[in-house]
Structure 1
């Protein structure tokens, strides 16, 4: 089936998310839609899938104009979507999830689960998925859950299949398996739209590449194009993709975490007996698939988790049990993984956000009064130093792009007298140019003798920055390995295998 989008335009108030986009996906082709987060890729596919209605433009399948009032219409026309965040019911079986919304009944009006099981087995056998129709979805590994999403789409005879950032929660090995599945689907005639911002994956699997920037198609490229060329198309300028850094020269041990447990509200250990040390002048990267305890670990160090056992100390000072304010005052800088929820106050100005950690003390406050002249001078200096692109320091943070919001958070946290920097998902949702800047500042912090913890689900980022890598799986550290450990070894560790088991 050939898919064609003509002049698709989608507006949200004053924001034009898609601006007269044209796209053609040929039958049996993997067409990659490449662009940074916020470029308009997912919006375009949500228009295709009937979740949004276009303000202008047409959708054509095999030359016939389509009108989708919702996802049901799109599915009936042969379009399927594998969402970045799985649309599965964890307590249902695979067969129940596959038939959900398309229930078949047998004699007497009973649900025909046998028919659903048969359909799951047929598709699973055809593609070598090895998925048990009666398995509870919540008990399955993430990679298998994604296969269930693919089975759902194929069970409804999808001839155009959209993968929206499908590798965000996968290990490298699961990513390789997904690429093989996509190629097999293509070879059987399925048209595939692959949405991503990861250059490595694009060049591995795409037949054609369309690049979107700021809601517009800015060019097409062949899979043979270099990473540098693709990055330049995405950003609009040349970008340095390699992190430039010298060999680390670690000093004395600084942060010491001993036997740390974090208990969630249900009484479950989400961090289990974690111990590690970070030295002055080194970057320890914490790798792992999202949801394996990384968030809770950083929050425990910061004093944000209420139920913690074990001990955390920084330069001999015990942090365990201290309030967040006292942890910050001890010299800990914290870049949270969700800047909009935990890193910024959107309604406040750039200048006000830059002093949030220190709004109670000098140099911003003297004798109980705010020193506006000092704040303005400081903000102007940091705006220039961190290349925060805004009309003025009085611009509300909520009006900035994702990359500039992240620069505000970094400028605030890295402008204090630091003894430790913790950066969780420091480049999530920002463009390649901003990533280049963030990585450079991380390395500069390390080279200033400050210990740095980087938590990232992006393996390319982990490998680029780390002097040592701690891999987490189900709340525990599987192992701590050198920064030059091969990607395939790290991928196996992210799936729970210990370094000794991988070597064997």
Structure 2
């Protein structure tokens, strides 16, 4: 019996980069197959070829034994292949049903039959446990629902092979569990799932087999039940990786960040951030957990000066920066790793030399006698590229051509090199491979141990729990809980993130002091 998907000798080149080097990749019908590898290993490129986004220079693709030419995503979906990308492809102003049936709308007497569309979406949702309201507008639902919409879109188009790219990056633990239930239901129905992920625990929990790419080549095909996280990691990196983080070298020192009663207006009637107060001390990592869209990004942007606040204050040490510009806040001691590494964290058309010099360009040695010293800029870039293991053809390569993980390394390297008293890090390891996670975590801990104050915002609860001394949880723009490291579990934090307070902590903290010194009522959630 022919494999569901067979890719043979796939080669894909970009300027200065061999993304896929004669890759063979095979997936059986009705299995959940994990595709793993370091950043720049060629995973997303290979799957984008299967989804019709890119075309290979060499090789062939067989779907159920028949050779196919996939010149576009429409060609791919016509042979039963659908892909859910990390960035969802939805129209915010349309309903869920309208998004699902777009370009394949049911009609009645020459008009779009919206009732039929709603019924079909509801049927698919019920069949696979994908709870959605077909009539809800996309811009009114949380991110976990958006992912379900993308899956329903592919199933509506009768996709037999579903490719998911980092599907749990923005989900709570409970939402991840529900997604896995959906994937198991799809598998039971005979569908084939290809999972691109960096999360070894998820691979071990959900997949049947694993393929590992390294440097654009297929280096391992493993049966998950017969393998281990350590073996997969060795194939990915060629070495042993240790993700345990050392405890702080000393007790936290003086308060570096003191943010009080910050309120940030939202797009509607509700504030994006409501009276949020927090402190971060030198030698301390404070984590902020929360489902995407609950005010974490807006809080960080308010502290750095990118968002207007209607009330509250921001102090770095003894200096009030509440009314300062972004540049003044940067000069006042704030470094910032933004969530959006493309639009905010980098200039895609500029090379690595320029991107790594940003913010350093007004000071020696990069600034010399009022002019930029290109030689110093090049040496600066080479040093950081080597230190953070950025895979790049040369320092003069535009960073917009890098994989997402390597671009992240550029942003993290630049911001850590400022050695500012406060570092705000949003999703510092999103889309980054396990070897790079180890290196970034080591750098963050070194920053902490050298007296830095780190405010960490991450969708990865394991990362928050591993690195943070204290964990704040945000829900609907408010800081609703502070959990010491010793008490933190994924289940507990996940409940807070979903707006629920566990009964045992509800009784204990009905009148617990919040970080701003006010009193929290038990029904604050």
Fold-level match, TM-score > 0.5? yes
Distance 1:376 1:97, change over 3 A: closer
Structure 1 residue 206, shift from structure 2 partner:
0.4
**What secondary structure, in the 3-state scheme, does the structure 2 residue paired with 1:152 have?**
helix
- CA distance in 2 between counterparts of 1:213 and 1:71 reads 26
Structure 1 residue 141, shift from structure 2 partner:
2.8
Structure 1 residue 369, shift from structure 2 partner:
5.9
Structure 1 residue 424, shift from structure 2 partner:
2.1
Structure 1 residue 118, shift from structure 2 partner:
2.9
Structure 1 residue 209, shift from structure 2 partner:
0.4
* Residue 240 (1) aligns with residue 262 (2): no
Match of 1:203 in 2: 204
Structure 1 residue 28, shift from structure 2 partner:
1.4
- CA distance in 2 between counterparts of 1:372 and 1:37 reads 29
Distance 1:6 1:367, change over 3 A: closer
CA contact (8 A) 1:479 1:499 kept: no
Distance 1:104 1:409, change over 3 A: closer
Distance 1:291 1:58, change over 3 A: same
- CA distance in 2 between counterparts of 1:155 and 1:253 reads 54
Match of 1:452 in 2: 454
Match of 1:473 in 2: 475
Match of 1:270 in 2: 272
- CA distance in 2 between counterparts of 1:405 and 1:81 reads 23
* Residue 488 (1) aligns with residue 496 (2): no
Structure 1 residue 125, shift from structure 2 partner:
2.7
Match of 1:176 in 2: 177
Q: Which runs of 5+ in 1 are unaligned?
A: none
Structure 1 residue 461, shift from structure 2 partner:
1.4
Structure 1 residue 320, shift from structure 2 partner:
0.7
* Residue 54 (1) aligns with residue 84 (2): no
CA contact (8 A) 1:231 1:238 kept: yes
Structure 1 residue 243, shift from structure 2 partner:
1.9
Match of 2:331 in 1: 329
RMSD of the TM alignment (CA)?
3.2
- CA distance in 2 between counterparts of 1:65 and 1:357 reads 52
Match of 1:220 in 2: 221
- Render the CA deviation track for 1:233-283: whole Å, top value 9, x for unaligned: 222322212223347622233311111122367787322221111122210
Structure 1 residue 466, shift from structure 2 partner:
0.8
- Render the CA deviation track for 1:189-225: whole Å, top value 9, x for unaligned: 1111112121111111000000122322121123242
- CA distance in 1 between counterparts of 2:114 and 2:349 reads 51
CA contact (8 A) 1:49 1:70 kept: yes
- Render the CA deviation track for 1:302-353: whole Å, top value 9, x for unaligned: 2223455310112221111112232222222223334454445567776665
CA contact (8 A) 1:31 1:207 kept: yes
- CA distance in 1 between counterparts of 2:145 and 2:32 reads 22
- Structure 1 residue corresponding to 2:442, chosen from 433, 440, 443: 440
- CA distance in 2 between counterparts of 1:8 and 1:391 reads 21
- CA distance in 1 between counterparts of 2:224 and 2:13 reads 31
Match of 1:121 in 2: 122
Distance 1:478 1:122, change over 3 A: same
* Residue 76 (1) aligns with residue 78 (2): yes
- CA distance in 1 between counterparts of 2:234 and 2:449 reads 29
Map residues 55-454 of structure 1 onto 2, 5 A cutoff: 55-106=57-108, 108-224=109-225, 225-246=227-248, 249-263=251-265, 269-344=271-346, 355-361=357-363, 365=367, 368=370, 395=396, 398=399, 406=408, 409-416=411-418, 418-454=420-456
CA contact (8 A) 1:164 1:196 kept: yes
CA contact (8 A) 2:357 2:380 kept: no
CA contact (8 A) 2:248 2:284 kept: no
Q: Which runs of 5+ in 2 are unaligned?
A: 508-525
Q: Which deviates more from structure 2 when the two are superposed, residues 405-414 or residues 50-59? A: 405-414
- Render the CA deviation track for 1:344-401: whole Å, top value 9, x for unaligned: 5567776665554343345655764667887788777767766677798x65573877
Match of 1:39 in 2: 41
- CA distance in 2 between counterparts of 1:37 and 1:497 reads 36
Distance 1:172 1:149, change over 3 A: same
Distance 1:22 1:350, change over 3 A: closer
Structure 1 residue 144, shift from structure 2 partner:
2.6
CA contact (8 A) 1:285 1:456 kept: yes
Distance 1:313 1:178, change over 3 A: same
Number of aligned residue pairs: give it.
502
**What secondary structure, in the 3-state scheme, does the structure 2 residue paired with 1:145 have?**
helix
**What secondary structure, in the 3-state scheme, does the structure 2 residue paired with 1:269 have?**
coil
- Render the CA deviation track for 1:388-416: whole Å, top value 9, x for unaligned: 77798x65573877666655554544445
- CA distance in 1 between counterparts of 2:389 and 2:151 reads 42
**What secondary structure, in the 3-state scheme, does the structure 2 residue paired with 1:6 have?**
strand
